[in-house]
Amino acid sequence: MSNTPAWTSKKPTAVLVLADGTVIEGQGVGATGKVQAEVCFNTALTGYQEILTDPSYLGQIVTFTFPHIGNIGTNDDDIEDLTPAARHGAVGVIFKADITAPSNYRSRKDLDTWLKSRGIIGLSGIDTRALTAWIRENGAPNAVIAHDPNGEFDIESLKEEARAWGGLEGLDLAKVASSGQSSQWSQKPWVWNEDESDLATDEQKHHIVALDFGVKRNILRLFAGLDCKVTVMPATATAQDVLAQKPDGIFLSNGPGDPAATGEYAVPVIQNLIETDIPMFGICLGHQMLGLAVGGTTEKMHQGHHGANHPVKDHTTGKVEIVSMNHGFAVNAGSLPEGVEETHVSLFDGTNCGLRLVGKPVFSVQHHPEASPGPQDSHYLFRRFINMVREKKGEPALAERA
């Protein structure tokens, strides 16, 4: 990969230094300073604010393959982390072009100002195609991203920091991303052109306890939209803590880091909760930890899946869905024991994207069914879960697809 692009004579004010010593120079945006993280790429065309505030990206630098970012600005609604004051989400970002000026009626702040407020360090003006190709060939690298308006960098020191960082394997970030305390959620999914105050749920027919390993807001909205009372509990909650809430269903959220590391404290809790026969549903990290809880293993992926155009097949229906993905670890399908069925699979690389326990109301998926990457192909999974709750309570099932 080349350093400063040939078309600019500007002094570099930001650098990305990979663990192998590669140095990529460009122009700094967003916050100043430096941070160690893993570099990934995201192929989504829209949703940059939701992506950068997804807690599953904690510890990562996101390279956007779409060249023009910033045209819709930012607002206070399109964020996904539950506790934005803690700034859980991506720690760095890489763009091909300069940030586009906002041109959208919902915009309240331009992207550069917003990045500064979130503490996200940015690099622009580089060949993101070359970086993406490098990641696809060599895997997601550990790196340091640094931004100094004066362009003063100790490159040798940054190289050493990049080499020294241990990476995401073995790293427990769920405790960091978790809200840390119990809370209630009542906001329903948004309806265009309706006041947010009108979106709080009135009916609360089912009580869902959501274990927060870095949960996204839209997951909670979809539960509320299905007439659920939602209690959010921290990642470190015990089985006794959960059962004391008398839940009708238990949700295992998405989140960052190595599932095996997080599983040291969460997996025994999940195992105990499975034995209660309370319906359980997991997404992303929650899926991986459920896989560990039933005796499977997880593995670090070469480059991970990050984007909004991923084809996944649901073996239970035979249908293919276009889904949103964001994960760097995966459940090893071959490690799943008897009594655990693979339900979904990636049509990109065949990796596991879902499982269910035979004879128990427990299932999970690797992708993000709450996201709407154009279609809403996977929203039915929430209704599938609620139907398990309704069946347990002796109530008639909902139509799986609204």
What DSSP line would sit under 346-390, residue for residue? ETTT--EEEEEETTSSEEEESSBTT--SSS-TTTHHHHHHHHHHH
- Residue 190 burial by CB count (10 A; 0-12/13-18/19+): exposed, middle or buried? middle
Q: What is the predicted pLDDT for the residue at 29?
A: 98
| CA dist., res. 231 & res. 100, Å (int) | 39
Q: For residue 94, which of 47, 151, 146, 142 has the smallest C-alpha distance?
A: 146
Q: With beta carbons less than 8 A apart as the criterion, state whether 343 and 330 touch.
A: no
Phi/psi-derived region of residue 362, left when phi > 0, alpha when psi is between -120 and 50, beta in every other case: beta
Q: Which listed residue (206, 305, 327, 368) is catalytic?
A: 368
pLDDT in tens, the chain (402 residues): 545 444 455 899 999 999 999 999 999 999 999 999 999 999 999 999 999 999 999 999 999 999 999 999 999 999 999 986 677 899 999 999 999 999 999 999 999 999 999 999 999 999 999 999 999 999 999 999 999 999 999 999 999 999 999 999 999 999 999 988 999 999 999 887 766 545 666 678 999 999 999 999 999 999 999 999 999 999 999 999 999 999 999 999 999 999 999 989 999 999 999 999 999 999 999 999 999 999 999 999 999 999 999 999 999 999 999 999 999 999 999 999 999 999 999 999 999 999 999 999 999 999 999 988 767 889 999 999 999 999 999 999 999 876
| CA dist., res. 95 & res. 125, Å (int) | 7
| CA dist., res. 384 & res. 400, Å (int) | 6
228 noted as active-site residue: no
Q: Which listed residue (284, 305, 327, 344) is catalytic?
A: 284
Helix, strand or coil for residue 321? strand
- Residue 65 burial by CB count (10 A; 0-12/13-18/19+): exposed, middle or buried? middle
With tokens 């004051």, the residue in question is 85
Which two structure tokens, joined as six digits, stand for 267? 């997996």
Q: What is the predicted pLDDT for the residue at 180?
A: 83
Q: What is the predicted pLDDT for the residue at 263?
A: 86
CATH topology of domain 14-164: Glucose Oxidase; domain 1 (3.50.30)
Q: What is the predicted pLDDT for the residue at 192?
A: 76
Q: For residue 267, which of 285, 243, 249 has the smallest C-alpha distance?
A: 285
Write the single-letter amino acid at 168.
Answer: L
Q: What is the predicted pLDDT for the residue at 191?
A: 80
Domain locations in the chain as residue ranges = 14-164, 174-392
pTM, rounded to two decimals? 0.95
| CA dist., res. 372 & res. 379, Å (int) | 9
370 noted as active-site residue: yes
Q: Which listed residue (25, 38, 161, 370) is catalytic?
A: 370
| CA dist., res. 12 & res. 123, Å (int) | 10
68 noted as active-site residue: no
Q: What is the predicted pLDDT for the residue at 9?
A: 58
- CATH class, domain 174-392, is alpha beta
